[in-house]
Structure 1
Amino acid sequence: MASNDLEVYLTARTALITEERSIRRDFKELAKATEDELHADQIVRAIKLEEAKSIWAVDHPDTPNVFPGMAYLSARNLITKTKIFQIISKMPKGALLHSHLDAMVNASVMLKYALEEPALHIQVAAPLTKASLFSTLPAFRGLRPSEYSDAPSLTSSSYIPGTWVHIKRARDSFSTDLGGPEGFDAWVIGALTINPREAYETHNTVAKIWKKFQSTFDVVEGFTNFFPLKKKYIKDFLLSSIEDGISFVETRFTFFSEYLIDANGEDSVSHAEIFRTFGEIVQEVKDEMARQRRSDAFIGARIIYTTLRFVTCDELDWYLEDCIKLKQEFPDLVAGFDLVGSENDLKPIIYYIEPLLRFRSRVEELGLDLPFIFHAGETYGDGSEADNNLYDAILLGTKRIGHGFSLVKHPKLIEMCKEKGIALEVCPISNEILRLTSSVCTHPLASLINQGVPVALCSDDPSVFGNMGLSFDFFQVLMGSDINGLLTLRMLARQSLEHSTLADEEKAKAIVSWEKQWANFVKSITDGRIFEV
């Protein structure tokens, strides 16, 4: 080959790569970058490259198939040892826009809170043995004092299945053959979480892993329906989010019963009381941040009212009307409405189209700012009912789309999302563990970003997946691409605030506050303070 031919080819190759990358969204972020940001980005890229060799390109006997952006649950212990994670854990992340309130507190912390409650009891439906322990789910409930049981143990030979035992007594008396109190903890936490073996071996289809996933909510319901525990839970969720650099939260609260259980075991806590208490806790946290002179660290939190995709249309009418009443009473706390549950197995949006259209008309008549914020396209299907939810979500005027995993297959819908400013709430770790993708490296996120679809990075159900806060999701996105850098993360964090339900004036203040935090974060990278304890 003539040297001239090689030069011509290499010149054309460089020009093509440059041209193609120049139209990527992340390249456009370079034009907005300050000198400090460019310097910090170079530092992060250098560390990323060094750790690709020192951590992700070496053998780890306990962790097979290691590579950057690998399956999260297998990689988690390695992730926490990296300098990149240390940097990201201190990053101001903007808003968390997609989270389910029943899955937002570390399972071990939840259990600790539960053990403090005198009314909380536990039962099992069958005798516990070594063989049956981890396939037998515990059930929890706050009981009336008249219902308290003297049953001494879950694991004694005299235990009658279905009998309630106080949770602390059940733990203290847990059979030594089953591990004693530590064995009790491992059993309960195992019922509330998904472990690597379940995610990558035994539950190796979408249907199987969703069955396990749903079972964690069946178990945690006994905790989160007990209002004294719920109050501790909400505050812990907000404080832990703040410590991870999250300054605003919109969380989905699933309403399926008319009342939660109070401290006396009575079904008495109304939906209005839930919202009132939520608002009080939000204010408590704001006041706490003010006392610490960290007011900018927390803007506030709101609830996306949700119910389940298996209710009837008549039942949905009741929930929709309840949502409207709560919006009228708590205008600053109700962010929107959604339907939740497995899109692959439960009712599609079109099934509920009549009550949803009535709701939309009623909201318009009342002049309420109460948008739909639908889950849609959380599937690898193409033309399936779950995939078709995307059409209905957009036609109904959804403000954002939860997941939108299959959107990448729909060029017209992508254009509509861009035109209408409909952001995707993308949850990469959740999508990977629930078997929509094998790793973040094969996730459609990069394609969606580079086609100009607005994206907010989210954690979904971190108490189940172990990705508390947002640091792990940001880490996976950074490591899952050789091109992604600090400026990609900046874009995602800023977009989360831009596409929140905050009013324009609140949003502008939130972004100004975030920009100040971001500038300080960038400076801490360039001057090395980021690694100080």
Structure 2
Amino acid sequence: MHNLHNMEPQSDEEWQIEEGIPQVDDPFIQQYMRGRSSLILEEQKQRHDCNLTKALPPTAAKACNIISRVRDRELHQLSSSSGLDDARFPEAKSLDWDRVQKTKLWRIIKAMPKGSLLHAPLHAMINVDFLIEVAFATPGMCVLATQPLTSQSDLDEKAFIFQYSLAASKDMEDRPTVWSSAYEPSSLIPLRKAASSFPNGGENGFRDWLRSRCVPQAGSENYHSRAIPLVNSLLSYEPILRACLRHVFAWLRSDGIRYVEFRTTFTFPYRKEGEDIPEEGHSDWCHVFREELARFQGTQEGQGFYGARIIWACPRSLSKRDIVENMKDCILAKYDYPDTICGFDMIVDKDDQHSLTDLVPILFWFRKECSAEGLDISFCFHAGESLRTGGDQGLFDAVLLGARRICQGLSLSQHPLLIELIKEKKILIECSPLSDEILGLTDGIQTHPLPVLLSRGVPVSLGTNAPGLLGEPNDLTRQFWQAVQGINSMGLTGLAMMVENSIRWSCYQDQPSAEWLSDLREGILGEGTKASRLQEWYADFEKFCQWVTEEFAEAEGEEQD
């Protein structure tokens, strides 16, 4: 024991040699390390942004490093000041957006050119306070409900919609309001009378209640069933539709978006300004949409805005007969305004509804009718909208029915065969992680399947599916910011690849399948509209990267690297 005590301690290297442990520079260990590096590189080739990362010009590569450095520094500062273990995963309902919008990362993401917005429910794109003000400022607006709204559960869930009626606004002042048990179901009540007689605080209370019906409630999944009828009933009257389109176009352009495809339902009769009698069908709605788009593109702020089109969304909760009538309405609108309607979707709006499988015969009929009229209306289906077991069967139908894009696809990561089919068939997945969290579909960015899909090379673009909890639109800047700060592997190249996808999968014009797939394969090297718009975006992206390197290099110590 005495001799052992006086022995000099061995170095780690001497101990390893004595024990016969191989050294790092031994040939077979070096061979292992080379194999390991090759395996990592082989896996990285499957990532969605692999090719873009390899092809980055020096300025863009420099901007990527700066943005990563800015993100890491601000995350550390946010974690330290807020007492969070990891500021990557703040809950959407508790996130201080005012503070976020003062950060350098937000400023960078806000300035980034964002291509196309392909997942944009029109009812979710309008600032709720703006919409309420427009409704109150519009003469002749009335409200109606399918039953008296006398309890809190009635106020929370029962149908309540708007309708223009000049006659009703003048002649029905003495009728019981919707808040009275004596109210006659579906009778029209002037908006201002309904507001002033609201039992919980008069007009101010009514406005607050209306806001609550139009915005997501934290952890609640029934936002769309509450908001769609209410908002779309307002958008079925010409003056309100025009005002909201002008508002939304300007807001989109200010967020760096150059093209948008709105989803909206057409279940309310459309009325022209001052007309009590509604129009047949929705061709006049499309006419107004086209007029307002052209007007905006002719303004200074609308310069560079490529355009907007409509994905006709039909609620699955309708009866099959009503679905067929809705499809006929879509075909007529497409025939009259082919440049406005670009796609068709079957949306989930209530718990009791048809599955896509139930609707396959009707969807085949719809496709046959379109073909007979010489019309091309592509399928862009909602599918895989829940992480729960059994909520993913629509993914199989969406693939088999030839959908060009799938909205949400939350459960896709659980289906390895479908993932490979979607990549093979070049189907885009429209993801909205921030909206999914707000709607209670996921717990946050850390449980969202987006990182898994990206790592498997699935083409994805980011969109928005709901307004913020305060009624403000969830712009792409918010979606991009959450992705880049919440996903460790996400950087500027990841965002850029999703923007490129949004442009490649845009329905700028009607295309038969062969031409559509050819454009997707050729990308920026093609000769069509998509190729030229990809070229324009990359030119804008290079200018953006140059701005990042000049604006943030010194602040982030870039010159020292």
TM-score by length of structure 1 reads: 0.85
Does the 8 Å CA contact 2:270/2:278 hold for their aligned counterparts? yes
Query: What is the CA distance between 1:37 and its match in structure 2?
Result: 0.8
1:351 is paired with a residue whose SS is coil
Unaligned runs of 5+ in 2: 1-11, 510-518, 520-527, 555-561
Q: Secondary structure at the match of 1:350?
A: coil
Given the alignment, which residue of 217, 234, 238 partners 1:223? 234
Task: Report if the CA contact (8 A) 1:128-1:155 is conserved.
Answer: no
**Deviation (angstroms), 1:155:** 11
- The alignment status of 1:272 with 2:283, answered yes or no, reads yes
Structure 1 residue 261 displacement after superposition = 6.6
Contact 1:153–1:170 under 8 Å retained in 2: no
1:23-60 CA distances to partner (integer Å, 9 max, x unpaired)?
A: 43334321121111111111111110011111134327
Distance 1:330 1:221, change over 3 A: closer
Find 2:114's aligned residue among 67, 70, 93. 93
Residue aligning to 2:263: 252
Match of 2:512 in 1: none
1:302 to 302, 309, 326: 309
2:266 counterpart letter in structure 1: F
The total of aligned residue pairs comes to: 509
State the alpha-carbon separation in 2 of the partners of residues 453 and 343 from structure 1. 29
CA offsets 1:376-412 (integer angstroms, 9 cap, x no match)? 1111134x2x411111111111111111111111122
Give a deviation string over 1:419-452, Cα, whole Å, max 9, x none.
Answer: 1111011111222223232111221111111212
Which residue in the other structure is 1:45 paired with?
Answer: 68
- Residue 335 of structure 2 aligns with an amino acid whose one-letter code is Q
Q: What residue is the counterpart of 1:285 in the other structure?
A: 296
Counterpart residue number, 1:517: 540
- Whether the aligned pair in 2 keeps the contact of 1:70 and 1:440 (CA below 8 Å) is no
Conserved 8 A contact 1:106-1:466: yes
More displaced, 236-245 or 177-186?
177-186
Contact 1:299 1:510 in 2 (8 A): no
CA 1:156–1:271: 2 relative to 1, 3 Å: closer
Equivalence map 1:391-406=2 (5 Å)? 391-406=396-411
Alpha-carbon distance change, 5 to 261 in structure 1, aligned in 2, over 3 angstroms: farther
C-alpha distance in structure 1 between counterparts of 2:437 and 2:22, whole Å: 44
- State the 1:250 CA deviation: 0.8
Matches within 5 A, 1:64-83: 67-77=87-97, 78-83=99-104
Matched, 1:313 2:320: yes
Confirm whether residue 54 of structure 1 aligns to residue 77 of structure 2: yes
Q: Quick one: which amino acid aligns to residue 185 of structure 1? A: R
Structure 1: distance between partners of 2:416 and 2:250: 40
Question: Aligned partners of 2:183 and 2:361: how far apart in 1?
Answer: 48
Equivalents in 1 of 2:201, 2:108: separation in Å?
A: 38
Give the Cα–Cα distance (whole angstroms) in 1 for the partners of residues 423 and 101 of structure 2.
35
Residues 444-459 of structure 1 correspond to what in structure 2 (within 5 A)? 444-459=449-464
Question: Which structure: larger Rg?
Answer: 2
Q: Which runs of 5+ in 1 are unaligned?
A: 201-208
Which residue type is aligned with residue 482 of structure 1? Answer: N
Residues in 1 aligned to 2:553 and 2:291: alpha-carbon distance in whole angstroms: 34
Map 1:27-38 → 2, pairs under 5 A: 27-38=50-61
Q: Is the 8 A contact 1:107 1:193 kept in 2?
A: yes
Q: Distance in 1 between matches of 2:276 and 2:425?
A: 47
The reply on whether 1:199 has 2:253 as its aligned counterpart is no
Deviation at 1:312, TM superposition (A): 2.8
Deviations 1:148-203, CA, capped at 9 Å, x for gaps: 344699799999797865445665x578x956655443222122112xxx424xxx
What is the Cα deviation at residue 116 of structure 1?
1.0
Q: 1:180 to 1:370 in 2, by over 3 A?
A: closer
- Work out whether residues 29 and 487 of structure 1, in 8 Å CA contact, stay in contact via their aligned partners in 2: yes
Query: Which of 412-421 and 426-435 deviates more?
Result: 426-435
| Pair 138,325 (structure 1): closer, same or farther in 2 beyond 3 Å | closer
**CA RMSD across the alignment:** 3.5
1:88 is aligned with what amino acid? I
Distance 2:160 2:350 in 1: 27
Q: Which residue of 2 aligns with 1:102?
A: 123
CA drift at 1:216: 2.4
Contact 1:432 1:438 in 2 (8 A): yes
Is the alpha carbon distance of 1:414 and 1:134 closer, same or farther for their aligned partners in structure 2, counting shifts above 3 Å? closer
Partner SS, residue 249 of structure 1: strand
Does residue 234 of the first structure (1) align with residue 245 of the second (2)? yes
2:342 corresponds to which of 329, 335, 350:
335
The 8 Å contact of residues 95 and 497 in structure 1, kept in 2 or not, is answered as: yes
Equivalent AA in structure 2 for residue 460 of structure 1: N
Question: Retained in 1: the 8 A contact 2:71–2:105?
Answer: yes
Query: Could you tell me whether the CA contact under 8 Å between 1:250 and 1:302 is conserved in 2?
Result: yes
Shift of 1:122: 4.2
* Letter of the structure 1 residue corresponding to residue 64 of structure 2: D
1:180–1:17 distance in 2 versus 1, CA, 3 Å: farther
Counterpart pick for 2:333 among 326, 332, 341: 326
Q: Deviations over 1:457-481 (max 9, x none)?
A: 1102336774432111111111121
- The letter of the residue matching 1:113 is V
Shift in Å at residue 362 of structure 1? Answer: 3.5
> Following superposition of structure 1 onto structure 2, how do residues 161-172 of structure 1 map, counting pairs within 5 Å?
166-168=190-192
Q: Secondary structure at the match of 2:119?
A: coil
Verify the 8 A CA contact 2:144 2:161 in the aligned structure 1.
yes
| Distance in 2 (alpha carbons) for counterparts of 1:111 and 1:530 | 44
Q: How do residues 107-186 of structure 1 correspond to structure 2 at under 5 angstroms?
A: 107-122=128-143, 125-126=148-149, 139-148=161-170, 149-150=172-173, 166-168=190-192, 173=196, 182-186=204-208
Query: Larger deviation: 94-103 or 522-531?
Result: 522-531
* Corresponding position of 2:484: 478
C-alpha spacing 1:155/1:402, structure 2 compared with 1 (3 Å): closer
What's the offset of the Cα at 1:5?
A: 5.7
The 3 A distance-change label for structure 1 pair 223 and 364 is closer
Deviation (angstroms), 1:256: 1.8
Aligned partner of 1:73: which letter?
A: K
> Cα offset for 1:280?
0.9
Contact 1:262 1:268 in 2 (8 A): no
The match for 2:495 is 489
Task: Work out the CA distance in 2 between the residues paired with 1:156 and 1:423.
Answer: 46
* Percentage of identical aligned residues: 28
Q: Partners in 1 of 2:352 and 2:486 — Cα distance?
A: 30
Q: Does 1:417 align with 2:417?
A: no
Task: Specify the alignment match of 2:360 in structure 1.
Answer: 353
Shift, 1:211, TM fit = 3.0
**Hey, what's the Cα distance between the residues in 2 that align with 1:428 and 1:261?**
37
Q: How many angstroms does 1:226 deviate by?
A: 2.6
Secondary structure of the 1:99 match is: strand
- Counterpart residue number, 1:468: 474
How far, CA to CA, are the matches of 2:352 and 2:151 in structure 1? 31
* Larger RCO (CA under 8 A, 6+ residues apart): 1
